[in-house]
Structure formats: C-alpha cells, structure tokens
Structure 1
Amino acid sequence: MKDIVRQKIGINVDVMDLLNEQISKEAHSAAVYLAMASWCDHNGLTNSAEFFYKQSAEEREHMLKIFNFINDNGGTAYSPEVNNINHEYNSLQEIFETALDQEIQITKSINNIVTRCRKVQDYGSENFLQWFVQEQMEEENQFRRILEMFDLMGTDGIALKFIDERIKHD
C-alpha cells in the first residue's frame, strides 16, 4: 500500500526526501541567524542585529515555502529538529564570513536538488526551485558586498560603527 500511495504524489520521492533535508537546512539557517542577531544586539550593533533578525525570518519563510510545496503536492513534509547552534563569535566580520559560508552551502544544496530533479524528470519541482536558485544568488552577493566593506574600511572603532550603519541600508 505504501508504494501505491507514494506513486500518487506529484513529486518524485527522492526529490521529496531532498526537499525535507532542505527544510532542516533552512530551519538551521534561521536559528543561526537568530543567534547572530543576539550577538550583534549584545555588542551594540543594532543595525546588524536587525539585519540578522530579518535574515532569520526570511530563512523561516523559505523553510515554510518548501514545507507547503511538499504537502501541496501529495508528499509529507517533516518538521525539523534544530541543534548545534553557535552563539559565540569574535567579531562582526566573523559573523558575516560565517553567514556567507552558510549561504554557499545552501546554494550547493539547492543546486544538488535541481540536478536530481532533472535526472528524474521532476519538472514541477525543478520549476519551483528556480525561485530559490535566484534567491541564493542574491543572498551570496549581499554578503560578499558587506564583507568588502570590512576589507575596505577595517574592523575597529569608527569603521565598525560605519559598517553597522551602512548595513541598515542593505
């Protein structure tokens, strides 16, 4: 009976499994960004804190978008467990470097799912994921531009406050 039910879903089973893994990755990203926001708040970097609160909310939206897609197409989405969240950072620059690394890993994961969609000819899921492909390009670019400010201005005193102020506009 289980095999019959699985055949009736609108997405490929392997793709569904990868999408469920992606749900966990998006939830983890949301939690990491929340921890980063807290670190920024604690260190008086209010604009950076607000930036990361927003990033956390966006990652949760991404998670729910995938969650709903799976369920809307006859699959079963699973609520993720989130653990192993780092709350300790040495600098704002380290936070942004960590965030960029995280976004690069998410991009690789999304691209892997798209590749799988093509292999199994799940064109509906591939089409759904194109929004995420574009979103990841924008996310990586945003973090790279912010990191360029550290390279140009440094990381101490007034430079740090200026970067925090500039982040308000990104």
Structure 2
Amino acid sequence: MDAKVAQLLNDQINKELYSAYLYMSFANYYEEVGLKGYANWYMIQTKEERDHALIFRNYLLENDEKVKLAAIAEPDMTFSNNLEPLEAALEHEEYITASINEIYAAAVEVNDYRTVNFLKWFVEEQGEEEANARDMVADMKLYGSDQGSLFSLDREAMSRTYTEAAPLSAN
C-alpha cells in the first residue's frame, strides 16, 4: 500500500474516534437539558463512529499495514440552544466527507483500486450521515420552538436503535 494512503487511513481512525467523542459530548448536552431521545440518537452515533474507526483499523491490518493510534482531542464546544449541536454535527459530517474524499483521491492517484473499492461504502455512508444531519437541523428549525413538537421529535429520536456497521458484521 502506498505510504500516503496508509497514513491517510491511519489519520481517519483518529478522526472517527474523535467523531465518537464529539457525538458523546452532544449526547451529554441533550441528556442535561432533558432531551433523552436526542441523547439516544447521539449515543448511537457514538457507536457508529467507533465502528467506522474499527473498519479502518481492520482494513489496515488486513493489508499488512501498521495501525498508529494518536491522541483524541477533547471536544470544546458549548451550546446555548438545542439547534447548535445539530448544526455542529452537520458541519462535522461535511468535514468527514471531505476527509474520505481526500483518501479516495489519493488512492485513485496511485491506482490503489482495492482501497478505492473499500472506500465506496464510506462514500455512501457519508451521504446518509449528511442527509440525516440536514434533516435533523431542518426539523429543529421548523418545529423545535414548539414544546409539543419538540417532544414528538425527541420521542422519534428515542426510537432509533443501534445496528452494527455492515463491514464489521461481515467479519
């Protein structure tokens, strides 16, 4: 495997673990303000991001590459309303999409088609992640100021359940 591609994949492990840490901080915020459904949503996001890190780890190991773990930065965001974590999540998902695209482009550049194929799941996953984040922002903007509607949105978020990422369950 090309050294640059391997490094980018290793870096992505850290980004995914940071994502898990960040989303746990969002869950903490929502728990503190009494929105247990939104807290549930972000705890499931935490698990999904951890899964993503494990998928990258497994891929590197399957390709005889060394996994290099780095320190995970502390999330430093504070929020003054229920919309802000949702907007931060959308911005973060767009950042992760750009990072996946960077790895994809680097793999294409060196004709690493195995990695290109591996990344296709993440490209699709990021499309779903961004769409979910956009929908949550739109719903909060439309209905979040009405207590009854916010209660309904929170109950809807509470119904979300965790499903292990397909690439992990295939192993």
**Fold conserved (TM > 0.5)?**
yes
Higher mean displacement: 150-159 or 129-138? 150-159
- Asked if 1:89 corresponds to 2:79, the answer is yes
Q: Is the 8 A contact 1:24 1:82 kept in 2?
A: yes
Note the residue ranges of structure 1 that are not aligned, 5 or more in a row. Answer: 1-10
SS at match of 1:19: helix
Q: Is the 8 A contact 1:93 1:155 kept in 2?
A: no
Q: Is the 8 A contact 1:35 1:86 kept in 2?
A: no
1:144 equivalent among 121, 134, 150: 134
SS at match of 1:132: helix
Please give the alpha-carbon distance, in whole angstroms, between the structure 1 residues aligned to 2:144 and 2:50.
32
Please give the alpha-carbon distance, in whole angstroms, between the structure 1 residues aligned to 2:51 and 2:133.
19
**Displacement of 1:42:** 1.2
Note the residue ranges of structure 2 that are not aligned, 5 or more in a row. Answer: 161-171
Amino acid at match of 2:57: F
TM-score by length of 2: 0.88
- Asked if 1:162 corresponds to 2:126, the answer is no
Q: Is the 8 A contact 1:48 1:164 kept in 2?
A: yes
Equivalent residues in 2 for 1:22-41, closer than 5 Å: 22-41=12-31
CA distances 1:57-78 after superposition (whole Å, capped 9, x unpaired):
1000000110111111011111
Identity of aligned residues (%): 34
2:118 equivalent among 125, 128, 131: 128
**Displacement of 1:169:** 4.4
- Structure possessing the higher radius of gyration over alpha carbons: 1
Please give the alpha-carbon distance, in whole angstroms, between the structure 2 residues aligned to 1:65 and 1:42.
31
Q: 1:4 aligns to what?
A: none
TM-score by length of 1: 0.88
- Asked if 1:42 corresponds to 2:16, the answer is no
Could you list the structure 1 runs, at least 4 aligned residues long, displaced by more than 6 angstroms after superposition.
none
